[in-house]
Structures are given as C-alpha cells and as structure tokens.
Amino acid sequence: MKKDMIKASSAFERVVHWSMALFCLLLCITGMGMMYHSLNFIGELMGGMIVLKYVHNFSGLFFGVSLLFAFGMWWKEAGLFSFPEDLQWLKAFGGYLWRVDKMPEVGKYNFGQKIFFLVVAGYGMIMVVSGLIMWFPLSFSTGLVRIMFVLHALGFVLILPFFFIHLYMATIGVPGSAPAMLTGWVTRAWLKNQHPKWLKEMEKDGTLVVYDEEKQRGHH
C-alpha cells in the first residue's frame, strides 16, 4: 500500500456494505427465479423451488439486519441533506454530464450518494416489511397482501437499476472510489478532489488517519 493513503472506512463499515450488496444481489437473483418461469432453472440449481424460496426469505432477513446497521452508521452523514452545497452539487449534477470549472465542496457523501442511500434504505425497509407479510399471508387481510406484492415488485424494479448504477459509479464513473470499500484506504488526491470538505473536517477534528508503513510493520 502506498504511503500517505487516508482511511475512508472501517472494517465494520465494509462488512456491512458488502453484506447489504451481496444479500441484495442474492435477493434479486432468487426473486427473479420465482417471478419468471423462464428463470425457474435458478431454483433447480439450488435444489428446487422450495429451497429457492427459503434462500430468498432468509436472505431478506439478513439484508434487513445489515440495513439496520447501515441506518445506525450512515444516517447522520448520508441520510440528511446539507445546504447550500447539496443544492449546488445538484445544479452542477456532480460534473458528470458537463464540464464544471469549480465544483462545490461536499462532505463525506455528495447529493447523489445521499439519494442512493435514501432510496436503498427507505425502500429496502419496505421490501423487508412487505416480504415478511408475503411470507405469512394468512396472518393478514387479502387486500393488504395484494398491496405488498405490488410494493415488492415495484421495489425490485427500483432497486435493481440503482444497484448497477452504484456499481458503475464506484468503478468506471468515479475512478479511485472502489478502494474505499475494498481496502478502506483512498489517496489524498482522490479525497481532496471528491470530498474536500470531509478532508478538511477530519484535519480540523484530528480524526484523519494516514497510513504509516513503518507503524504497520511494527504491528506484525
């Protein structure tokens, strides 16, 4: 690892992030296996449609748990908007669609990341609740269960594209972002370019953690 890399995420944050991502992907795959006859072979690969259903249902429970941890860790930074910088970022659209000479300084998460978090977190909870009701349909009214089926299908249509948009932005869209959730470390240049306000806040608060190769060797 290069010297002077800056710590952007803790090990626990990465575990929660990847748990959400993997269970979300598994839910989408198993959900499509139940929803479309042409994809029923997914169930056959898992040992039958009954097994597929249980994998889907219990993946939903684990996703719900990871979602609760995500709320606790990231709500204050990613769930609340900060003005005027978020509005300025929106007006410039992050500089993704046209050239912007001077981007507004944003904190740990920009407006686009906050919208992604709110959609996934908000509708993720709806998916968990609707899934639980669908799991035990006889415990609820027929009308309520039907509404839950609609909400569940709508959530799939909404979350799946966001999943791939997030994947694109973390790799090709914004090069240098992936290490934040792979190793937990990013370059100072990337952080200064993408989240300058957050860098300044950590420097001011004394919470900035810089990779020290000699110190790391001392731990081994």
Q: What pTM was estimated for this model as a whole?
A: 0.86
Query: 48-101 pLDDT, tens per residue?
Result: 999 999 999 999 999 999 999 999 999 999 998 988 888 888 887 765 665 666
Query: 148-195 pLDDT, tens per residue?
Result: 999 999 988 888 888 888 888 888 888 888 999 999 999 999 898 888
The two tokens of residue 116 are 């992604």
Query: 92-135 pLDDT, tens per residue?
Result: 776 566 566 666 788 899 888 898 899 889 999 999 999 999 99
- Ordered by where they begin, the domains of the chain are 11-183 (1.20.950.20)
Cα separation of the two ends of the chain = 15
CA–CA separation, 44 vs 39, rounded Å? 10
